[in-house]
């Protein structure tokens, strides 16, 4: 039962508890005091009543002395009757002489003899309480005395009902007063509880808001006067200036001379004598609320700082992650036990693993035992010696030979001891290839130079051979011999072509800047090759745009490009085909030159490689693999671009053009050159 | 928790009990059980009355002890009675309701003249005399009054028309010197107070005053009595007297007189206490002729004591 009560009490609101507690206390105190006072005053009233009765009796006895001496019965009767009639609560009075004779009394119709037998001795405690037909009566016995001589006795009956009524009335007044005071007290208790709990509730609401994450709370009350108003300091730099939410004694770095530059717990001693403190300092609740506000603000600031830092860290982390994920290099971090702590995306992708399959694992979990063992010993050595390791490794892959440059460095922690191992590995296959190509091209350059020299030397004898062969052909009529001579002529021409190419490739002529009419340069080249192509039944359709302006560039080198493109096209066709050459305006004031053929086309995979040096699909001996690469270089030197499309779009190879059968899908090379012409380097 | 509840309950109970207090136990009495009653008659006794100069209470207090002494001494039942007035006293004596009367000489003369009262003893007052006299006073600086004759045509302030020493005795003295009431400019009475007479003269309101001898001492602490001179003294007259009714048997009267005369103020402390209460110091034997001067005086001043 009491547990239930206790539980119910615990469940009450604080305000109710205070009110209830104070109410109970008030009722208890009120009732106690009321009852005690009531009892005391009742007793006092009763005593007063008795005293009054005694006084009346004594007074009467005194006044009865003379008539008693004189035996003046009339006066006795008069006096007795007078008193009897004067006070309504006097039930009876009678007078006896020393011998017990009743000299006078107020009864009519006989005397109640019962009264004679009681309370005869006035020396006993007076009055004696009687219960009669007329209620409770106090019987007073007072002697009529003169000197030491007793003359008689006055007996007076005083009704107690009047006293009881008075006591009752007094008790009622006491009760009502107590109730009134208690009620007033309860109202005050309510008000008090409300005042106290309002601030507590505010504090609680603030705490709830903080729990919800809202730190922008104010549990304390606003001040009537803020510190800067009290001090009239005008110090706008002070952290307390304008901060109505926090009390200045909680703030560090305040500029008041009293503060002495101390922080909160230290400065409070000097604050106690400060007028601001004395003006604004409240009770414990206000202090708590204000401390709470300061806490909220401080926590908020800290959280904001933390959030900001967290954001920065996250941003940096994201950035780092992005870098790590985007970088094609392999990056891993291993701890002292060689367990992976981090692995970049490139690393994971390369080994077809997920990050979580790497992190927390060792090489033995990921690689073959042999490889892992190798790595282990290598890594351990680095961890022990602290010497970084750099090496290149190569291995075969279906897509070709792979080269990696691996760097392993020890990672030191703050106290200078090795805490792990950082590995970076870069795919240097392309670099390797370039290296090889560079070596190759160096060889080619040497070869070209050699070939150029040789060609130069051969060119003259070839010219003579060709001249003389053609002279012989004019003179010889023997068909068979003529045919043989024709073979000689042809092969000599082939030789001369090779020689010319070699010369062209190896010649390092200085570039010349001049105005170049693209259409004219194209015509020149077309005329040069038209005959030879015609022999292979390759027709060249030239559709120049005569409106294109001249551009500044190296005419000869551009002509070399056109020649390369046309040769390339002819090579792609082989025999029976069409080459469409167009010029026109491109976007942004550029001149577009396209050379489209109906040849075998270029594989999609090869399209982005055809401009690589030495890339060729031609049979060995038919091409050097340098033509397009050289052309790409020249166009680039002119600030333009060159690209290849296969099959060519309609605009470059209109279907309306006559084509011979069989025709391949074809290719178009589109060169775009700026009109203004970037200066040839 | 239950203990706490218990103690709280106990505390409350204690408070309630304290509030109740001790209750008186009434005695059952019936007021309706009536019976007619009559007073038992008083036993016959010799009645003793003091001329009602004071209230009954005062009379009782002065004489109660003396009455008890007399009863003890004589073995006779004696009871003090309280007449309301002088006339009542005289009337009661005449009716035989007073056997022994203690009165002033004028009342005695009346009683003797009317009902045959017989004097048996006079009291000796505190000045040691059984007689007293009046004095005529004036301011010492009043040169106009040097003798009784000088009082003629003057303003006289007396104590009371019935005052013996304060009026009647001086009046007798004036009559002896040939002055009647008509010979005074005015005769004023001071309401029965000797002091008022002296103060009236002292203040110069009246030329002369008449007082009982000894009264000047009473006001000595109030005024400089050297400023008052006594112009003349009246002759000595007998003082207060005990008389007995002719109805009282002589032997009883003798017993009583003997008892009175036996009282010894000087040597017996019990007697002294009795006499102190009665405000005199002793008795001398007395007989009726001691009061002839009073009769003469009454005749002179026209006082009817019959």
Q: Is the model more confident about A429 or about B263?
A: B263
Residue in chain B nearest A99 by alpha carbon:
B40
Q: Which of B11, B60, B61 to mutate to test the interface with A (most CBs of A within 10 A)?
A: B60
Contact with chain A for residue B4, Cβ under 8 A: no
Q: In angstroms, what separates the C-alpha of B171 from chain A's closest C-alpha?
A: 35
Section A156-182 average pLDDT: 86
pLDDT confidence of residue B20: 52
At which of B182, B206, B235 does a domain end?
Answer: B235
Contact B64 A146 (CB under 8 A): yes
**Contact A65/B at CB under 8 A:** yes
User: Residue B17 falls within a domain, yes or no?
Assistant: no
pLDDT value at residue A658: 66
Report pLDDT for A613. 61
B79 touches chain A (CB under 8 A): no
pLDDT of residue B18: 55
Contact between B64 and A146 under an 8 Å Cβ cutoff? The reply is: yes
B11 occurs within a structural domain: no
CB-based contact (8 Å) between B28 and chain A? yes
CA distances (Å), origin A170, targets A51, A164, A166, A653: 18, 9, 6, 129
Q: Which of the pair, A658 or A481, is modelled with greater confidence?
A: A481
Average pLDDT over residues B122-147: 90
Inform me whether the C-beta atom of residue B18 falls under 8 Å from chain A C-beta atoms: yes
User: Are residue B220 and residue B242 in the same domain, yes or no?
Assistant: no
Distance CA A18, CA A16 (A): 5
* Residue of A287, A293, A282, A297 lying closest to A205 (CA atoms): A293
* Residue B36 falls inside a structural domain: no
Cα of A118 to nearest chain B Cα, Å = 9
Residues of B in contact with A38 (CB under 8 A): 19
Most A CBs within 10 A among B29, B65, B71, hence the mutation to make, goes to B29
Q: Are A238 and A228 in contact (CB under 8 A)?
A: yes
Q: Is B32 on the interface with A (CB under 8 A)?
A: yes
Mutate to test the interface with B, among A39, A118, A137, A140 (most CBs of B within 10 A): A39
Helix (H) or strand (E) holding A331: strand A330-335
Are B218 and B283 part of one and the same domain?
Answer: no
Confidence grade of residue A677 (pLDDT, cut at 50, 70, 90): low
Same-domain pairing of B87 and B64:
yes
State yes or no: pLDDT of A681 exceeds 50.
no
CA B148 – CA B231 distance, rounded (Å): 7
Predicted local confidence at residue A296, as pLDDT: 81
- A336: part of which helix (H) or strand (E)? none
Q: Is the pLDDT of residue A679 over 50?
A: no
Q: In what order do the strands lie in the sheet with B78-81?
A: B78-81, B46-50, B100-103, B241-244, B118-124, B282-285
* B229 and B242 co-located in one domain: no
Give me the residue from B26, B40, B83 closest to A101, CB to CB: B40
| B35 is a domain residue | no
Quickly state the pLDDT bin for A10 (edges 50, 70, 90). Answer: confident
Q: How many domains does chain B have?
A: 2
- Pick the more confident residue, B203 or A246: B203
Q: Is the pLDDT of residue B87 over 80?
A: yes
- Which residues in chain B are closer than 8 Å to A32, comparing Cβ atoms? 15
Q: Do A69 and B21 touch (CB under 8 A)?
A: no
User: Which of B16, B29, B82 lies at the smallest CB-CB distance from A70?
Assistant: B82
For residue B158, pLDDT over 90 is answered with yes
Among partner residues A36, A137, A146, which is closest to B18 by beta-carbon distance?
A36
Q: Which domains does chain A show, CATH number per domain?
A: 14-175 (3.30.450.20), 222-308 (no CATH), 329-427 (3.30.450.20), 429-508 (1.10.287), 513-681 (3.30.565.10)
Domain that holds residue B279: 46-128+238-301
pLDDT at A116: 84
Tokens of B268: 């017996």
Distance from CA of A200 to the nearest CA of B (A): 28
Single residue among B235, B254, B280 that ends a domain in this structure:
B235
Measure the CA angle with vertex B204, ends B200 and B206; round to 5°.
60
CB contact under 8 A, A132 and B30: yes
* Record: contact A65-B56, CB cut-off 8 A: yes
Indicate the pairing of strand B78-81 with strand B46-50: parallel
- Do the beta carbons of residue A672 and residue A518 sit within 8 Å? no
- Which pLDDT score is estimated for B138? 94
Pick the last residue of a domain from B211, B235, B259: B235
Does residue B204 have a pLDDT over 50? yes
Assigned token pair, A521: 């340069």
Check whether residue B247 and residue B112 sit in a common domain.
Answer: yes
What is the structure's pLDDT at B228?
A: 93
Q: Is B39 on the interface with A (CB under 8 A)?
A: yes
Asked if A91 reaches chain B (Cβ–Cβ under 8 Å), the answer is: yes
**For residues B41 and B64, which has the higher predicted lDDT (pLDDT)?**
B64
- Taking an 8 Å cut-off on Cβ atoms, the answer to whether B57 and A65 are in contact is yes
Are residue B244 and residue B229 in the same domain, yes or no? no
Distance (Å, rounded) from C-alpha A496 to C-alpha A147? 186
Cα separation of A558 and A638, whole Å?
A: 9
Residues 21-50 of A with CB under 8 A from B: 28, 31-32, 35-36, 38-39, 42-43
Is the CB of A133 inside 8 Å of chain B's CB atoms? yes
- Which residue on chain B is closest to A138 by alpha carbon? B26
pLDDT of B55: 84
Residues 6+ apart with CB under 8 A from B207: B138, B142, B144, B145, B151, B154, B155, B156, B185, B201
Answer yes or no: is pLDDT of A511 > 70: no
Per-residue pLDDT at B49 exceeds 90:
yes
- In angstroms, the CA A495 to CA A483 distance is 18
Model confidence at A300: pLDDT above 90: no
Domain check: are B255 and B286 in the same one? yes
Task: Determine the residue of chain A that is closest to B24 in CA distance.
Answer: A129
Question: If you average pLDDT over residues B282-305, what whole number do you get?
Answer: 89
Rounded CA-CA distance A576/A570 in Å is 9
| Confidence band for A599, pLDDT divided at 50, 70 and 90 | confident
Dump pLDDT digits (tens) for B247-258: 999 999 999 999
pLDDT score, position B16: 58
Domain presence at residue B15: no
Comparing alpha-carbon positions, the chain A residue that sits nearest to B2 is: A2
Q: How far is A142 from chain B (nearest CA, A)?
A: 18
The tens digit of pLDDT for each residue in A334-375 reads: 998 889 988 888 888 888 888 888 889 888 888 888 888 988
State the Cα–Cα distance between residues A213 and A210, nearest whole angstrom: 5
- Residue scoring higher pLDDT (B159 or A587): B159
Encode pLDDT of A364-417 as tens digits: 888 888 888 988 998 988 988 888 989 888 888 777 778 889 999 999 988 888
Alpha-carbon gap: A35 to the closest alpha carbon of chain B (Å): 5
In a domain, B21, yes or no: no
Decide if pLDDT at B23 tops 60. yes
Residue B220 and residue B254 in one domain: no
pTM: 0.51
- Please tell me if residue A110 touches chain B, with a CB cutoff of 8 Å: yes
Q: Which residue has the higher pLDDT, A74 or A249?
A: A74
Question: Do A32 and B15 count as a contact with CB atoms less than 8 A apart?
Answer: yes
- Spatial distance between the Cα atoms of A269 and A529, rounded to a whole number of angstroms: 106
Contact check, Cβ <8 Å, A102/B37: yes
Asked, as a colleague might, if the bond just before A127 is cis with ω within 30 of 0, I would say yes
Nearest-CB residue to A131 (from B28, B82, B84): B28
| pLDDT tens track for A564-584 | 889 888 888 888 888 999 999
Question: Whole-angstrom Cα distance, residue B256 to residue B243?
Answer: 10
| pLDDT (average), residues A274-292 | 79
**Highest mean pLDDT of the ranges A147-156, A454-463, A602-611:** A147-156
Q: Is residue A111 less than 8 Å (CB to CB) from chain B?
A: yes
Please state the rounded mean pLDDT for residues A213-233: 79
- Smallest Cβ distance to B61: which of A36, A131, A146? A146
Does residue B255 or residue B304 have the better pLDDT?
B255
Asked if A112 lies within 8 A of B21 by C-beta distance, the reply is no
Q: Is B137 helix (H, G, I), strand (E, B) or coil?
A: strand
Q: Do B73 and B196 sit in the same domain of this protein?
A: no
Q: Cα(B72)–Cα(B274) distance, rounded to whole angstroms?
A: 13
| Residues B229, B181 share a domain | yes
Closest CA to A50 of A115, A125, A121, A105: A125
- Report the residue from B20, B26, B35 with minimal CB separation from A113: B35
Q: Is A107 on the interface with B (CB under 8 A)?
A: yes
Mutate to test the interface with B, among A29, A131, A161 (most CBs of B within 10 A): A131
- Among all residues of chain A, which has the CA nearest to that of B22? A43
Average pLDDT over chain B, rounded to an integer? 88
Q: Provide the ipTM.
A: 0.75
Chain B residues near residue A75 by CB distance under 8 angstroms: none
Q: What does the pLDDT read at residue B2?
A: 59
Residues 437-496 of chain A with CB under 8 A from chain B are: none
Report the CATH number that the domain containing residue B79 is assigned in CATH: 3.40.190.10
Cα–Cα distance between A360 and A487 in angstroms, integer?
Answer: 75
Lowest mean pLDDT among A237-251, A298-312, A566-580, A638-652: A237-251
Give yes or no: residues B198 and B284 share one domain.
no
Are the beta carbons of A39 and B39 separated by less than 8 Å? no
What is the rounded distance in angstroms from the CA atom of residue B130 to the CA atom of residue B280? 10
Per DSSP, the residues of A623-664 read: B-S-HHHHHHHHHHHTT-EEEEESSPPTTTS-TTS--PSS--
Q: Are B217 and B75 contained in the same domain? A: no
Q: Across residues A153-166, what is the average pLDDT?
A: 88
Lateral strand order in the sheet of A667-674: A538-543, A577-585, A590-597, A667-674, A641-645
Domain assignment present for residue B33? The answer is no
The alpha-carbon gap from A197 to the nearest alpha carbon of chain B, in Å, equals 27
Contact B57 A146 (CB under 8 A): yes
Query: Considering only CB atoms, which chain B residues are within 8 Å of A119?
Result: 27
Q: What angle do CA A542, A544, A548 make, to 5 degrees?
A: 160
Mutate which: A112, A124, A159, A167, vs B, most B CBs within 10 A: A112
Question: What whole-number distance in Å separates Cα of residue A152 and Cα of residue A145?
Answer: 7
pLDDT score recorded for residue A604: 80
Question: Does the residue B66 lie in any domain?
Answer: yes
For chain A, say whether B25 makes contact (Cβ under 8 Å): yes
**Percent of residues, chain A, with pLDDT higher than 90:** 9
Provide the percentage of residues in chain A whose pLDDT is more than 70: 92
């Amino acid at each position: 039962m009491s547990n239930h009560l206790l539980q119910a009490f615990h469940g009450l609101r604080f305000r109710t508890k205070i009110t209830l507690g104070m109410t109970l206390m008030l009722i208890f105190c009120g009732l106690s005091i009321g009852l005690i006072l009531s009892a005391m005053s009742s007793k006092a009233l009763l005593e007063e009543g008795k005293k009054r009765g005694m006084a009346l009796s004594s007074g009467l006895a005194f006044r009865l002395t003379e008539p008693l001496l004189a035996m003046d019965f009339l006066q006795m009767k008069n006096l007795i009757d007078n008193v009897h009639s004067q006070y309504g609560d006097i039930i009876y009075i009678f007078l006896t002489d020393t011998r017990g004779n009743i000299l006078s009394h107020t009864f009519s119709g006989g005397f109640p003899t019962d009264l004679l037998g009681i309370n005869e001795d006035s020396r006993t405690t007076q009055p004696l309480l009687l219960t009669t037909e007329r209620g409770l009566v106090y019987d007073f016995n007072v002697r009529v005395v003169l000197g030491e001589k007793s003359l008689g006795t006055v007996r007076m009956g005083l009704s107690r009902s009047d006293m009881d009524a008075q006591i009752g009335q007094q008790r009622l007044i006491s009760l009502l007063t107590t109730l009134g005071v208690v009620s007033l007290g309860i109202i005050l208790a309510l008000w008090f509880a409300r005042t106290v709990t309002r601030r507590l509730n505010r504090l609680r609401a603030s705490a709830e808001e903080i729990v919800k994450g809202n730190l922008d709370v104010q549990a304390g009350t606003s001040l009537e006067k803020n510190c800067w108003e009290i001090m009239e300091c005008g110090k706008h730099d002070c952290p307390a200036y304008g901060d109505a939410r926090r009390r200045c004694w909680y703030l560090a770095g305040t500029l008041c001379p009293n503060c002495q530059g101390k922080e909160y717990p230290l400065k409070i001693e000097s604050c106690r004598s400060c007028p601001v403190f004395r003006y604004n300092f409240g009770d414990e609740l206000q202090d708590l609320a204000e401390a709470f506000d300061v806490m909220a603000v401080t926590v908020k600031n800290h959280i904001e700082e933390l959030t900001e830092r967290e954001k920065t860290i996250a941003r940096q982390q994201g950035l780092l992650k992005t870098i790590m994920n985007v970088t094609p290099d392999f990056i891993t971090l291993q701890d002292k036990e060689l367990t992976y702590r981090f692995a970049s995306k490139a690393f994971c992708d390369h080994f077809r693993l997920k990050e979580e399959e790497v992190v927390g694992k060792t090489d033995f979990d990921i690689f073959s035992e042999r490889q892992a063992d190798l790595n282990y010993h290598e890594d351990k050595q680095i961890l022990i010696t602290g010497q970084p390791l750099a090496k290149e490794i190569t291995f075969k892959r279906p897509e070709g030979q792979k080269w990696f440059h691996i760097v392993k460095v020890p990672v030191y922690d703050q106290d200078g001891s090795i805490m792990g191992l950082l590995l970076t590995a870069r795919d240097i296959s392309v670099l390797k290839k370039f290296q090889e190509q560079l070596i190759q091209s160096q060889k080619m350059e040497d070869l070209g130079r050699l070939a150029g020299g040789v060609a130069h030397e051969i060119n003259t004898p070839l010219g003579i051979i060709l001249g003389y062969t053609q002279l012989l052909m004019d003179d010889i009529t023997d068909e068979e011999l003529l045919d043989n001579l024709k073979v000689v002529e042809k092969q000599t021409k082939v030789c001369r072509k090779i020689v010319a190419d070699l010369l062209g490739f190896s010649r390092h002529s200085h570039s010349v800047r001049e105005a170049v009419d693209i259409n004219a340069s194209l015509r020149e080249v077309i005329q040069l090759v038209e005959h030879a192509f015609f022999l292979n039944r390759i027709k060249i359709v030239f559709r120049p745009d005569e409106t294109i302006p001249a551009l500044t560039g190296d005419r000869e080198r551009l002509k070399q490009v056109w020649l390369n493109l046309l040769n390339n096209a002819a090579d792609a066709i082989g025999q029976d085909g069409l080459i469409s050459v167009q010029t026109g305006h491109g976007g942004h004031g550029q001149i577009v030159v396209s050379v489209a053929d109906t040849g075998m086309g270029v594989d999609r995979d090869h399209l982005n490689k055809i401009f690589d040096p030495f890339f060729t699909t031609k049979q060995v001996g038919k091409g050097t693999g340098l033509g397009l690469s050289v052309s790409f270089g020249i166009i680039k030197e002119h600030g333009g671009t060159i690209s290849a499309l296969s099959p060519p779009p309609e605009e470059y190879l209109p279907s309306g053009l006559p084509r011979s059968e069989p025709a391949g899908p074809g290719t178009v090379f589109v060169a775009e050159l700026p009109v203004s012409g970037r200066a040839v380097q | 928790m239950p203990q706490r509840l218990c103690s709280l309950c106990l505390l409350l109970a204690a408070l309630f009990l304290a509030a109740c207090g001790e209750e008186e136990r009434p005695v059952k009495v019936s007021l309706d059980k009536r019976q007619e009653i009559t007073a038992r008659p008083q036993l016959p006794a010799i009645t003793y009355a003091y001329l009602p100069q004071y209230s009954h209470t005062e009379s009782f207090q002065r004489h109660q002890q003396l009455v008890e002494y007399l009863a003890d001494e004589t073995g006779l039942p004696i009871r003090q009675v309280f007449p309301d007035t002088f006339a009542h006293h005289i009337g009661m004596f005449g009716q035989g309701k007073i056997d022994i009367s203690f009165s002033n000489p004028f009342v005695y003369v009346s009683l003797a003249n009317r009902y045959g009262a017989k004097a048996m003893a006079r009291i000796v007052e505190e000045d040691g005399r059984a007689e007293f006299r009046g004095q005529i006073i004036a301011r010492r600086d009043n040169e106009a009054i040097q003798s009784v004759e000088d009082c003629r045509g003057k303003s006289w302030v007396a104590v009371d028309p019935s005052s013996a020493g304060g009026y009647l005795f001086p009046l007798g003295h004036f009559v002896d010197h040939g002055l009647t009431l008509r010979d005074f400019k005015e005769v004023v009475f001071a309401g029965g107070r000797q002091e008022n007479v002296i103060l009236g003269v002292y203040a110069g309101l009246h030329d002369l005053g008449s007082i009982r001898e000894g009264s000047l001492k009473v006001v000595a602490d109030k005024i400089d009595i050297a400023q008052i001179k006594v112009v003349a003294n009246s002759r000595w007259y007998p003082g207060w007297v005990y008389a007995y009714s002719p109805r009282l048997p002589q032997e009883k009267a003798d017993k009583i007189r003997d008892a009175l005369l036996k009282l010894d103020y000087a040597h017996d402390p019990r007697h002294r206490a009795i006499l102190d209460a009665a405000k005199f110091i002793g008795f001398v034997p007395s007989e009726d002729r001691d009061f002839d001067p009073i009769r003469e005086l009454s005749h002179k001043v026209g006082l009817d004591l019959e």
